[in-house]
Amino acid sequence: MPRILFALVVVLVVATVYTVVDCAMRENSRIRGLSKPVWLVVILLLPVAGLVLWYTIGRARGAAPQPRTPDDDPAFLGDLRRVSEQDERIRRLEEELAALDAETDLGHPDVFGPRDGKNSDDEPGSDSEPRR
């Protein structure tokens, strides 16, 4: 009898280790019911019941459904929306910059000074020190 009991304990420990690794390595999208850390605690604190619950409730069967085309993928569609919003923002900024450039006359002496490169404060014969 003790040999059978020892064998059952060994099987239970091996199954628990396998289940903990299975739960820890599984993607969050393929876990049902509880979050991954909670499942790990349930599996470790309730050895037999935790194993049964994990394999009946917590583990999603089959592969996680993957979208086949980009039109079916919400992440791809969200990225498209974000990219189009960024493109629209860049277009508006470029339009505003073009409007500002059109308003500002680069050759106007009141805005940028005379075009000949001389400062109106410079006097002939003075040492390029500003007047005080």
pLDDT digits (tens, 9 = 90+) for 37-85: 999 999 999 989 999 999 898 887 766 566 567 667 777 777 777 777 8
- Report the C-alpha gap between 106 and 59 in whole angstroms: 70
Are residues 68 and 44 in contact, defined by beta-carbon separation less than 8 angstroms?
A: no
Please list, in sequence order, all residues whose beta carbon lies within 8 angstroms of the beta carbon of residue 107, skipping any fewer than 6 positions away: 115
Would you call 127 helix, strand, or coil by DSSP?
coil
How much of the chain is in helix, strand and coil states, percent to nearest 5? Answer: 65, 0, 35
pLDDT tens, residue by residue, 6-27: 999 999 999 999 999 999 998 8
pLDDT over 70 (residue 116): no
Can you read off the two tokens belonging to residue 82?
A: 């974000």
Distances (CA, A) of 111 to 32, 99, 114: 68, 17, 9
Copy the structure tokens of residue 119: 């400062």
